[in-house]
């Protein structure tokens, strides 16, 4: 049953199942700010943990950093953000709404048509009126107001540091995490005794006062970044290429592979090279990884070759040398930087979109989040088949407590088993464990239980019964990517399709 997912469906699932809520909702919400609910918080943690492990812990050439959000204001002079991190804005003189000058023709516009007795029409983006041929010149929203000439509007959030506002220092909420890495380049180099090439990774919040944010958590005022600055010696050559070009290529391939390793479908990912006009003035080459969201192909992450621009700028503004001593050539060099930069929230949105499936099972609709086990917010759900049987409940609670020492586990006894399975499918729980009468037996009838519980697989809906003492190791095997078939073969007789 191929069905294309709409953002409306996804937003509603996210709210209903506790992934993402609108911020300050009881007060009517605040534009483009979102809160991660219990399952969203787990999912987000899992994405960050996987990224950190794969990019920092597993690599001998990487280290981590956690820099502060508030930085010395000169950082943003040096980086160019104070002068150039701007969007051209226009205001409507009637309704006072504000628009990005370069995006005016991307939304439908309101038009009072003289050829149609002044009646109001919504004209498609960028098109002239079909009745009178007029093009939009007034405010697209109210259709009446003149627009001011474009003015440059800085995207950084500003605040004040100090007790008395008049004497306080103007500081900014960082618009990117990258600068925290650049200004710590020498600290890390010295403290960790690094040799080029090496990288510094950071996960943290950044803030941008975007006037036209939108598409749920795709573009928001407050967001989280996973950024790497990978420093290379521009004088080195690797495989016949300059080191920066070689490593840029490697990071592009590696980044694409990372999303696929956690289940993202290859046909929904593509690479887009920035052309000359689009490139930032300091960048030698930039490639975006785009994902096919329900609203179209959009940037998931960017991988830029920023050359030595940032380190040179900070050296100039701070008066501190930010160089590396090349032992071989006996000279100081300013490293080039490759910057793979991904948004946590965007990655989370893409993983959710990609995981979403609708299937028909025995005439009923099944909604499924086919999340990679490592990303799934809940790894195992423990479900007692009869909530009034004390021995079943006691056994199930014991299993829950034992598994919870290692994984995010949920316990649910508030519906019939079929319903409980569907609930877990909808939030992407890879495995359910069911305790039933066969597990504990029936004392009144003098029947002994078999001491086994049922593991049910989310994707195939197949089941296998395993002895309780082996449950943890079997789940570990499965969550580590072990084959379902291998496990069912070992416990053979109990494997069966889902019943009920």
Residue numbers at the binding site for Zn ion (CB under 5 A)? 92, 94-95, 113, 129, 131-132, 139, 141-142, 145
Closest distance of CB 286 from Zn ion, Å: 36
Return the H-helix or E-strand segment holding 35: strand 34-36
DSSP result, 165-227: TTTSEEEEB-S-SHHHHHTTHHHHHHHHT--SSEEEEEEEEEE---SS-BTTTTB-SEEEEEE
Q: Ramachandran region of residue 263, left (φ > 0), alpha (ψ -120 to 50) or beta?
A: left
Q: Which is nearer to Zn ion, 139 or 409 (CB)?
A: 139
Q: Identify the CA nearest to 397 among candidates 417, 373, 413, 421.
A: 413
Asked if residues 398 and 447 have their Cβ atoms less than 8 Å apart, the reply is no
Asked if residues 368 and 357 have their Cβ atoms less than 8 Å apart, the reply is yes
Q: At what angle do helices 344-355 and 38-52 cross, to 10 degrees?
A: 110
Q: Which is nearer to Zn ion, 97 or 292 (CB)?
A: 97
Q: Which is nearer to Zn ion, 89 or 113 (CB)?
A: 113
Torsion angle of the four alpha carbons 128, 133, 137, 139, in this order, in degrees rounded to the nearest 10: -70
Q: Which is nearer to Zn ion, 128 or 398 (CB)?
A: 128
Place of tokens 């981590």: 64
Distance CA 467, CA 447 (A): 17
Closest distance of CB 153 from Zn ion, Å: 17
Q: Which is nearer to Zn ion, 140 or 340 (CB)?
A: 140
Q: Which is nearer to Zn ion, 3 or 95 (CB)?
A: 95
Closest distance of CB 214 from Zn ion, Å: 19
Q: Which is nearer to Zn ion, 143 or 335 (CB)?
A: 143
Closest distance of CB 149 from Zn ion, Å: 15
Closest distance of CB 142 from Zn ion, Å: 3
Q: Which is nearer to Zn ion, 146 or 331 (CB)?
A: 146
Closest distance of CB 177 from Zn ion, Å: 37
335 — phi, psi (to 5°)?
-65, 150
Closest distance of CB 105 from Zn ion, Å: 16
Closest distance of CB 151 from Zn ion, Å: 16
Task: Say if residue 245 is exposed, middle or buried (CB neighbours under 10 Å; 0-12, 13-18, 19+).
Answer: buried
């Amino acid at each position: 049953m191929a069905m294309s997912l709409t953002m409306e469906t996804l937003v509603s699932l996210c709210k209903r199942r506790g992934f993402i809520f609108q911020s300050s909702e009881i007060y009517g919400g605040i534009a483009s700010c979102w809160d991660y609910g219990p399952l969203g918080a787990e999912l987000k943690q899992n994405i960050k943990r996987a990224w950190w492990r794969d990019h920092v812990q597993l690599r001998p050439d990487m280290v981590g950093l956690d820099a502060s959000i508030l930085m010395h204001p000169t950082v943003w002079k040096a980086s160019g953000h104070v002068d150039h991190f701007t969007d051209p804005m226009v205001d409507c003189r009637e309704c006072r709404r504000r628009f990005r000058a370069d995006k005016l023709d991307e939304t439908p516009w309101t038009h009072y048509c003289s050829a149609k007795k002044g009646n109001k029409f919504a004209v498609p983006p960028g098109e002239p009126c079909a009745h009178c041929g007029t093009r939009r010149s007034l405010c697209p929203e109210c259709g009446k107001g003149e627009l001011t000439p474009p003015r440059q509007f800085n995207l950084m959030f500003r605040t004040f540091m100090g007790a008395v506002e008049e004497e306080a220092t103007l500081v900014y909420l960082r618009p990117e995490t990258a600068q925290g890495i650049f200004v710590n380049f020498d600290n890390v180099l010295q403290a960790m005794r690094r040799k080029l090439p090496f990288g510094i990774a950071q996960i943290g919040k950044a803030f941008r006062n975007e006037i036209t944010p939108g598409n749920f958590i795709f573009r928001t005022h407050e967001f989280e970044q996973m950024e790497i600055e990978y420093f290379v010696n521009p004088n080195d050559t690797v495989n016949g290429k300059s080191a920066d070009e070689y490593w840029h290529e490697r990071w592009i391939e590696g980044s694409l592979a990372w999303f696929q390793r956690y289940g993202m479908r290859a046909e929904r990912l593509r690479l887009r090279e920035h052309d000359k006009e689009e490139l930032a003035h300091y960048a030698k080459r930039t490639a975006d990884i785009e994902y096919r969201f329900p609203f179209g192909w959009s940037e998931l992450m960017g991988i830029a070759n920023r050359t030595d621009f940032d380190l040179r700028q900070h050296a100039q503004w701070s008066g501190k040398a930010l160089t590396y001593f090349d032992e071989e050539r006996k000279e100081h060099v300013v490293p080039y930087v490759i910057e793979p930069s991904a948004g946590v929230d965007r990655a989370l949105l893409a993983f959710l979109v990609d995981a979403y499936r609708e299937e028909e099972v025995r005439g009923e609709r099944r909604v499924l989040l086919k999340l990679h086990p490592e990303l799934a917010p809940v790894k195992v759900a423990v479900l007692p088949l009869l909530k009034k049987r004390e021995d079943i409940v006691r056994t199930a609670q014991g299993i829950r407590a034992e598994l919870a020492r290692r994984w995010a586990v949920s316990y649910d006894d508030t519906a019939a088993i079929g319903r409980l399975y569907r609930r877990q499918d909808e939030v992407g729980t890879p495995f359910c464990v069911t305790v039933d009468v066969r597990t504990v037996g029936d004392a009144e009838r003098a029947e002994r239980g078999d001491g086994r519980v049922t593991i049910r697989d989310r994707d195939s809906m197949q089941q296998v019964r395993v002895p309780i003492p082996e449950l943890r190791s079997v789940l570990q095997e499965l969550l580590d990517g072990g084959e379902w078939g291998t496990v069912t073969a070992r416990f053979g007789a109990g494997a069966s399709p889902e019943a009920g």
